[in-house]
Homo-oligomer: A and B are copies of this chain.
Amino acid sequence: MQDITRTEIASLGEFGLIELLTKNNETKQAGTLLSVGDDAAVIDQFGRQSVITTDLLVEGIHFDLMYTPLKHLGYKAVVVNLSDLCAMMATPTHITLSIAMSNKFSVEALEEFYEGVYAACDKFNVDLIGGDTTSSKLGFVISVTAIGEVAPDKYVTRAGAEKNNLICVSGDLGSAYLGLQLLEREKKIFLENPKIQPNLYNQKYLVGRLLKPEPRIDIVEWLAEAGVTPTAMIDVSDGLSSDLLHICKKSDVGCLVYEDKLPIHEDARTMAAEFQIGTAACALNGGEDYELLFTIRQEDYEKVARNNNISVIGYITGKNEGEKLLTKGGVYHNLTAQGWNAF
């Protein structure tokens, strides 16, 4: 018998795992400006800078085909990558798309999926330039790589937040999570009694936030036009807490977020009450909002305050002050990363 050391992946978590696997990653190309560890990488190509990101979506982990229309799935697979480019202040230009699917899929089903892909490409002026199509005994797997461009050295990483910077977020938070809870509930009811058809007509907003997110290219464009350069930026995919902690860690700072400043949609409030979960918890830990979370210098406050799509939710503190949430009741809580724990 061999004596083999076995460490469970769950014991490290996603970010611990990535850290371990990339600790020996050496940069050899002079053109590599930013490598593993941000929303996207940046490579210099004789003065022009390309921004590159990639995401892998797996059936049963990232989507449930029982309530995810294939057209929406195709659209979303593109959007989640464009959102990563937005988080670098880059303009998306190209994508590649690889899929693996079992023979349970018909050609018509795939055409529907591609309709969504092309709808996103058309809407955001992006070219689909390549990919791979293969079979799978295992389910549907989607891999998208997105490429964008940014003016030389104008990209924004997670690492630049400074003490007293203001913390901003676009749109609203927690709705996608509540949309997911709603669909999971209706799925359960349907599986228990297939005669009961789900009624989701009044929940178009929440369900739409989950199934058809939009990359905040509009915010990136507005920031550029307004002359506001965020000091750090990330997109909210894992949840506000988890993503804000990334900024704090990379920037070596702390933060204070005010519960009463969290932007929450009216439909989300209603549904959170129905599910008897706190709206703040949905906003902080829900994930999949694909909003932009960024920090700005105080001098940019006046400009940002004029944009109704941006909320200032707190400010950056010193590292030794930690990462805190001030509740409506005046109590300080530590922000903790929840979210990805799929193993």
Chain A residues within CB distance 8 Å of chain B: 4-12, 14, 17-18, 20-22, 24-29, 31-32, 34-36, 40-41, 43, 45-48, 50, 52-56, 58-62, 93-94, 96, 98-101, 103, 105-108, 110-111, 114, 118, 121-122, 125-139, 141, 143, 145, 147, 149, 342-343
Question: How many identical chains are in the complex?
Answer: 2
**A55 cross-chain contacts in B, Cβ below 8 A:** 98, 132
Q: Which of B10, B93, B130 contacts A54 (CB 8 A)?
A: B130
Residue of B at shortest CB range from A5? B108
Q: How far is the CA of A93 from the CA of B31 in the complex (A)?
A: 9
Q: How far is the CA of A141 from the CA of B58 in the complex (A)?
A: 9
* Additional A-B contacts beyond A32-B94, A98-B143 (17; CB < 8 A): A7-B107, A8-B106, A9-B101, A22-B128, A25-B128, A28-B127, A31-B93, A32-B127, A41-B130, A45-B45, A45-B149, A50-B50, A52-B96, A52-B129, A55-B98, A56-B99, A61-B137
Q: Are A131 and B36 in contact (CB under 8 A)?
A: yes
| 14 examples of A-B residue contacts, CB within 8 angstroms | A5-B108, A8-B106, A24-B118, A25-B118, A25-B128, A28-B127, A29-B126, A29-B127, A41-B129, A43-B93, A56-B98, A56-B134, A58-B100, A61-B100
Q: A47-B46, A125-B28 are in contact. Are A130 and B36 (CB under 8 A)?
A: yes
Secondary structure dominating the interface of A: mixed
Q: How far is the CA of A41 from the CA of B40 in the complex (A)?
A: 20
What 7 A-B pairs have minimum CB-CB distances, sorted nearest first?
A138-B138, A41-B129, A143-B143, A7-B107, A56-B98, A135-B342, A145-B145
Residue of B at shortest CB range from A99? B56
Q: How far is the CA of A103 from the CA of B13 in the complex (A)?
A: 12
Q: Which of B36, B40, B130, B133 contacts A17 (CB 8 A)?
A: B133
Q: How far is the CA of A114 from the CA of B343 in the complex (A)?
A: 19
Residue of B at shortest CB range from A100? B58
